[in-house]
A and B are shown apart, each in its own frame.
Chain A
């Protein structure tokens, strides 16, 4: 499998680390225990197109949001996490 890192270009799987479902958003500080429980434990495991977090630890150390079909391993989109790179959101 190969992933096209927005910073480094097309790179081999071995440079990346998989984390999992990128959909859940970390709840705000006052969201309550149930919301945090869901965030920590409820993960989709889709047979099909999924949005996932991958880490380019063997390259630029960017966290990526990868859209991957878990049945075919086809990767249809790769974007850097909001805070990846040097530029700051809103800065």
Chain B
């Protein structure tokens, strides 16, 4: 029965037999050992069927023992931590692990959708493109949902991931990918030379293929050599070994992406620890010693559970002491595959037969066969008998035409080895074909990178050690390290002799890409249908596009394609390799940048005070700004905002405007500089005065606006809008450094240094006099409209005071060092109490600016000119400035442009909505009659009705005209009157008073 580890070998393996771990697979309880993967524990328990395939729901087993696994994908864990498409071959076993097979219903053993196999013709290559093309409505309503249910992989958890993910940087001289013989030898050489080394290993144990193959290095058994080497590396101060870490991408300038599975081997990460960490490793040199991936041979029934890569069988037997089968047949076309027969015999398992596609077998192997008492069959596997219970019988086509049958419960397959050319090809490098090993090897390797060992096509153990050691030494040397690298580890080289065999013709489905259910006949069909390029083949058949990225299937696919098109494999070529090498969770890329930490949050200096008052905050860019301050009994935002506006217009109120961008402009040429960046003049501005300024882009469109004041002969204080604060700084630095380097001027961003408050309303002066030193003259004569100067506050603090008004009321803006911002807000409340001071938010600010006809973001929208905004007269004709020439272009000064105008519904009770389109009376709504749209709206407490601003064709010439506001999104259509955009105090008497 399953659950008793019946297939666990009695000795050997790198498992801890003293630590048994219980786990559940599809609801059934099993035991495994520490050191197992989920796959090896399933093997040890005799579980052969682990999933159903993508399209045909065919029963599938475990094919490999590594991250190239196409079949053994499971849903790991449950609830919010459920992870679909997790490879059982890399998932470390832990106590209480829960996993479920995927893509089966109602159960793995009885799957309704396996009838898809009967409808196989509709799932052929390109089925997405041709079968369900027509009618279009059927596709959306019926076909696609049906296919989505029938074909697929695992299910996402569907709820928020409760775990944390981290992102980190690391810097080193040499990063080494892989800890097999080549990687360890490279680390030895580089580490000994004194280089800062990072060794990344995706497995949780170091040693790579030595774990599966054993061998002798420097006279020591491989395991002992690995232990000795790791001990030496760990003793080196600048060598860092990172297990459970996969290098997934190669980026420019020696930057590498790696994913560390910090706590994926535990049921739940320990408190305050992350599940995974995304590393960006910056290295001067990189040695790719990622090994090679054994490739299947495509034959009918090659996806039957129990068919397994020959090297994977060695892994399960040698590393995990788990027997994938009791009676094993081996199908190989190369010398290396024979090692599995050796391993099986050494482990006391039966070898049923070796089917070797080559004409000759070495004498050593012949004697192995006679000692082991099994036949060597020259030929190839043409069919496999077995279903969900696994391999039973294997049909062999013998060279010469005869047939044979082999009874076995497992079939090991070796079609040769493909160097892992992913990392070396991520800069569009095209691997080159080597006939002697019948494989692609790295070429066009990114700068600073070298491949070594099996990753470079050197399959012998001795060669791996040599190449690795030399590559490590060279990398360290290139990074400027010259310490003594000591002696090179040595081992014998095995013979690797291969006769390529890709596909055995026969009846029945022969799978190339098992994860995407792409068969050999799909590849042939695509070629017949004219898909000549491998890139087209890939997309048409979806070969290699699954989560395994075709690690076991790509080369076979293009070899079959080459065969049917009569071209050679190198002529057919490979597709472009792109990262990531393994799937990386989006959560790892996001790291801590999720939920409220998705981006930084900026708080205004008065934030905490505003929060105490119960302010409602709004996100504006990164900022949280007080939008309004509700009071008890107010039924909605409109009531609060209306109260705030009325309080300002009749008394006094204040608002935190610290979010404006603030820039100090210093230097003898400060005025000349501002003349060039603004359309209006600033060099002529008197010290102690401020002026509204407008900036254009070089193409003549308005960029930003704000008030700039002259505090001294060589010192201006410039403000920008909140939205453009950073961009204007960047733009001004460009002007200063690139366009006008001859000007002696410096810019300093002081946005975060000053807390700024707008204080507005007829009682502003009364309030301010309680705040500033009594010696300061705030009268109209002593501090006229647009005055700007430093003042002393009561208590001695210095502040900057500006007499500017956005609200249209008598108003000042006061700046104090940011650390005093909160105290200033509290002070204004205390000092202002006798005057009924009212804090107001951005909503009231907006209402008052619309009532006053001031333009803001909705009007400065990247399409408007100064003229459109009614500010054309500001444009100086006496100086050059950014945008001057382009602003004069015909279309930008055309008389029929859409310009800013006031808009109000003729029905005073009607609510005006922004976004409504302006259509002439009597015309049909549509693009041909569209004359503009409403940009900003508010309820005006002064006018007691909804009002707005809009951009309307020839708007200023049409004051008084009644037009339609057409709003198809809200199904509204009503009459509005075009009017002066300044609704309130058009003469400006109040702000000057």
Q: Which residues of A contact B (CB under 8 A)?
A: 1-2, 12-13, 17, 19, 26, 29, 32-33, 36-37, 39-41, 53, 55, 57, 61-63, 72-75, 80-84, 86, 88-91
Residues of chain A contacted by B169 (CB below 8 angstroms): 12
Please state if A40 and B255 are interface contacts (CB–CB under 8 Å).
no
Contact B253 A40 (CB under 8 A): no
For window 270-284 of B, CB contacts with A under 8 Å fall at 280, 282
Interface residues on B, range: 20 to 34
From B699, B737, B739, B888, contact of A62 by CB (8 A): B737
Contact A1 B252 (CB under 8 A): yes
By a CB distance below 8 angstroms, the chain B residues around A75 are 253
Q: Smallest CB–CB gap between A14 and chain B, Å?
A: 10
Chain B residues closer than 8 Å to A72, beta-carbon distance = 427
When A2-B252, A33-B885, A40-B699 are in contact, do A89 and B737 touch as well, CB less than 8 Å?
no
What is the chain B residue whose CB lies nearest that of A81? B737
Cα-based distance from A81 to B743 in the complex (angstroms):
13
B698 pairs with A1, CB closer than 8 A = no
Bound Cα distance from A29 to B743, whole angstroms: 16
- A12 to B169 CA separation, bound complex (whole angstroms): 10
Task: Give the shortest distance, in Å, between B749 (CB) and chain A (any CB).
Answer: 8
> A33-B888, A57-B726 are contacts. A63–B742 as well, Cβ < 8 Å?
no
CB interface residues, B 698-739, toward A, < 8 Å = 698-699, 726, 729-730, 733-734, 736-739
Evaluate contact between B733 and A55: CB separation under 8 angstroms: yes
Given contacts A55-B734, A63-B734, A73-B252, A40 and B741 within 8 Å (CB-CB):
no
CB neighbours of A74 from chain B (8 A): 447
Residues of A within 8 A of B741 (CB): 81-83, 88-89
Q: Is the CB of A61 within 8 A of B738?
A: no
Q: Is there an interface contact between B736 and A83, defined as CB atoms closer than 8 Å?
A: yes
| B254 lies within 8 A of chain A by Cβ | yes
Nearest Cβ on chain A to B216's Cβ, whole angstroms: 43
How far in angstroms is the closest Cβ of chain B from A8? 15
**In the complex, what residue of chain A is closest to B741 when comparing beta carbons?**
A83
- Of the A-B pairs whose beta carbons lie under 8 Å apart in the complex, a sample of 16, sorted by A's number, is A1-B251, A1-B252, A2-B253, A2-B254, A2-B255, A26-B698, A36-B885, A36-B886, A39-B698, A40-B699, A57-B730, A63-B734, A75-B253, A81-B741, A82-B737, A89-B741
**Top 9 A-B residue pairs of the complex, sorted by shortest distance between their CB atoms:** A83-B741, A29-B880, A2-B253, A82-B741, A83-B737, A1-B252, A81-B737, A36-B885, A73-B252
Which single residue of chain B is at the shortest CB-CB distance from A19? B734
**Given A2-B254, A29-B880, A63-B737, CB of A55 within 8 Å of CB of B742:** no
Taking A62-B737, A83-B737 as given, write out 18 further A-B residue pairs in contact, using a Cβ cutoff of 8 Å, ordered by the A residue number: A1-B251, A2-B254, A33-B888, A39-B698, A40-B886, A53-B738, A57-B726, A61-B729, A61-B730, A74-B447, A75-B253, A80-B737, A81-B738, A82-B738, A83-B736, A83-B738, A86-B746, A90-B742
Q: Which residues of B contact A (CB under 8 A)?
A: 169, 251-255, 280, 282, 427, 447, 698-699, 726, 729-730, 733-734, 736-744, 746, 880, 885-886, 888-889
Which B residue sits closest to A22, measured CB to CB?
B738
- Which of B698, B729, B742, B743 is within 8 Å of A40, CB to CB? B698
In angstroms, Cα B735 to Cα A55, docked, is 12
Chain B residues, Cβ within 8 Å of A61: 729-730, 733
| Chain B nearest CB, measured from A41 CB (Å) | 8
Q: How many angstroms between the C-alpha atoms of A72 and B250 in the bound complex?
A: 13
Q: Which residues of A contact B738 (CB under 8 A)?
A: 53, 63, 81-83
Residues of B within 8 A of A36 (CB): 698, 885-886
Whether B744 contacts A91 by the Cβ 8 Å rule is yes
Contact B739 A26 (CB under 8 A): yes
Q: How far is the CA of A41 from the CA of B740 in the complex (A)?
A: 20
Q: Which residue of A lies closest to B251 (CB)?
A: A1
Q: Within the assembled complex, what's the spacing in Å between the Cα atoms of A2 and B880?
A: 37
Q: How far is the CB of B179 from chain A (nearest CB, A)?
A: 27
CB-based nearest B residue for A71:
B428
Contact check, A2 vs B447: say whether CB atoms are below 8 A apart: no
**With the chains together, A37 CA to B251 CA distance in Å?**
37
A81 vs B739: C-alpha distance when bound (angstroms)? 9
Closest CB in chain B relative to A47 CB, distance in Å: 13
Cα of A2 to Cα of B737 in the assembled complex, Å: 22
Residues of B within 8 A of A89 (CB): 741-742
Complex Cα gap A9–B819 (Å): 33
